Amino acid sequence: MRWILIPALALLLLVAAIVLGVGPAVAVLCAAGLIGAVLAAVHHAEVVAHRVGEPYGTLVLALAVTVIEASLILAMMFAGGEDAAVLPRDTLYAAVMIILNGVVGLCILVGGLKHREQVFRVEGSSGALAALIVMASTSLVFPTFTTTTPSGTYSTSQLGFVAATSAALWGIFVFVQAVRHRDYFLPAADPANPEAHAAPPTARQAAASFGLLIVCLVSVVGLAKMLSPMVERLVLEAGAPKAVIGIVIAFLVLLPETGAATRAALANRLQTSMNLALGSALASIGLTIPVVAAAAIFFHLPLHLGLAPKDLVLLAVTLLVSAVTLGTGRTYLMQGAVHLVLFAAYLFLAFVP
């Protein structure tokens, strides 16, 4: 029942914020409504995902999370003007670091502690990681070194090229995952796992969840737009770097999915965890970059995508460690600890650059 009430309450809070304005009390309620709407959105996406089955289920979750992320970024870009030029970069970079180090590290660590060793299909994960390396490089690394426009930025043609190639790579990945090589992304059968035999929801339940998912996404977009000026002001008043705003957005969006991936790892379904993590990272760039690029081009919004040298090094180390971890198809807790230490370094250096 709460997953039905939360979307309705979030929508009511959005209407109240539009009518009354965003004062301190309304802002607190809207923030709670935003978090609740994100959690409810992922819950209803999971219901739809359970109905359609793997690997389509993880694809539904990734799409829901990406829609929320892109909506939050666009809301703050339109509200922030010139000061929000680096927000897409900071959010996408934060999403990649949170997923590859935080989510993957946590899943491997808790799975290793409970099950000693876990396995997954390297055929699927290696292709996904290769696509992610290319997407991250063209979106976040190359702008630092191109010379057509000032460092860190793309020209209109360059931005269009990166948007098109990112969307194409994501589309090919979805085709491979869902059609051509679907078996590469299916978890091994585990008779001892009760979740594997859980009855899927009915078509009526899935349709209801799909409708509530739309309500949640509308509420998230609206509430984020109403709260974005206050969030930015609070971060700056706290003396934190502006990059923290991107980290907050990424954390908020990825928190429910982190829980789903961790539960799968504890249930000895690391394949599902990897599908969730890598699929979300690919969708985060492959879908968000085209949306942000289109908005920047058509509405003449400033956009700065190139990473600073410190972040370039952290990204390179993360991708290298991920290639080592995902290259064998077998994990244990040491690998999880390595990723989590790298994640801690990312957070510490974000606050103390």
Q: What is the pLDDT of residues 313-348, one digit of tens each?
A: 999 999 999 999 998 889 999 999 999 999 999 999
CATH number reported for the structural domain that contains residue 48 in this entry: 1.20.1420.30
- What's the longest Cα–Cα distance across the chain? 58
Q: What is the pLDDT of residues 27-65, one digit of tens each?
A: 889 889 888 887 787 778 778 777 776 556 667 766 776
Q: Which of 171, 147, 143 is nearest to 159 (CA)?
A: 143
The count of structural domains within the chain is 1
State the pLDDT at residue 81. Answer: 66
- What pairs with residue 331 in β-bridges? 118
State the pLDDT at residue 93. Answer: 95
Residue range(s) defining the domain that contains residue 299:
2-351
pLDDT less than 70: residues of the chain: 53-58, 61-62, 65, 80-81, 188-199, 256
State the pLDDT at residue 188. Answer: 60
State the pLDDT at residue 272. Answer: 86
CB 277, CB 107: distance < 8 Å: yes
Name the pTM for this structure.
0.83
State the pLDDT at residue 321. Answer: 96
Beta-carbon contacts of 351 under 8 Å, excluding residues fewer than 6 positions away, are 240, 241, 244
